[in-house]
Structure 1
Amino acid sequence: MSPRTKNWLTTYVVSALIFAVLDVAWILLVANPLYQSQIGHLLAPRTNLPGAVLFYVIFVAGMVHYGVRPNSPGLALRQRVTGAALFGFFTYATWALTGFAVLRDFTALVAVTDILWGAAACSVVTWVSASVLRRRLARVAAA
């Protein structure tokens, strides 16, 4: 495995773990109560586990690619966090505004909350990941 690939995969694992902890807390403390009160009748009785896992696998890859950017050693932390915030904003806005546009009872409160969460979560995960992996991100071994 090339050093660049190993660097990317290490960053992916670290970011995935951080995002998992953060998102579980968000879901339990904010999203579930909000969704139940606003759009509870639209929710499935159980989470579709394969769909959820696929979302996390793909989403974290995007966050690492557009936010943390492990193979860009000269990138400032501010640039990494800004890229992540934009990635989170656009991806969560896609979901939330589509739901708001096509689902009869999808509320503006849920849409706005989700969009803000996407930008904030990606920013925090990128900031923490980049801080934890600071030395690794400062150098990229030649492939």
Structure 2
Amino acid sequence: MKRWLLSYALAAVIFAVIDVVWIVTVAQRQYQSQMGHLLAASPQPVAAVLFYLVFVAGIVHYGVRPAKADIALRGRILGGALFGFFTYATWALTALAVLKDFPALVAVTDIAWGVGVCAMVTWLTVVLLRNVLKGRPAS
């Protein structure tokens, strides 16, 4: 349990940092230019926090998998990437299907982002966690 909680905390920090950089440098401008008419005046902070809490749990469960010592790094990264693909594709393709004027470019970009960010967060979390836990007995 300690390893899972440590993995969660580490993945949460990594994901938050990377996602904020993505939002500020890419997503904000793309969303505004492609679908500004669909955006709320300001984000809902409770919904955003809930998203991060739930999403990071998914990255840890499907990507990092701290309780599974026998999984190679490549398998973990693949698991994280697939989690990102399925979750972001669910959002983007549903939005494309039901929202008037939802841009296909945003859908494709979001899906690619989901795959990339989840793979990267998984990789960084696993590598850093291995370094932190190096020399410690398994718990």
TM-score if structure 2 supplies the norm length?
A: 0.95
Q: Is the 8 A contact 1:73 1:137 kept in 2?
A: no
1:82 aligns with 2:78: yes
Q: Residue 141 of structure 1 aligns with which residue? A: 138
Q: Residue 57 of structure 2 aligns with which residue? A: 61
Which of residues 104, 107, 110 in structure 1 aligns to 2:106?
A: 110
Structure 2: runs of 5+ lacking an equivalent: none
Q: What is the CA RMSD across the aligned residues, in angstroms?
A: 1.6
Q: Residue 91 of structure 1 aligns with which residue? A: 87
Structure 1: runs of 5+ lacking an equivalent: none
Q: How many residues align?
A: 138
Alpha-carbon offset, residue 74 of structure 1: 1.3
1:39 aligns with 2:35: yes
- Look up the SS of the partner of 1:133 in the other structure: helix
Alpha-carbon offset, residue 134 of structure 1: 1.5
Distance 1:39 1:115 in 2: 16
TM-score if structure 1 supplies the norm length?
A: 0.92
Distance 2:63 2:80 in 1: 4
Shift in CA distance, 20/7, structure 1 to aligned 2, threshold 3 Å:
same
Shift in CA distance, 40/70, structure 1 to aligned 2, threshold 3 Å:
same
Distance 1:138 1:40 in 2: 51
Alpha-carbon offset, residue 140 of structure 1: 7.5
Shift in CA distance, 127/138, structure 1 to aligned 2, threshold 3 Å:
farther
* AA partner of residue 141 (structure 1): A
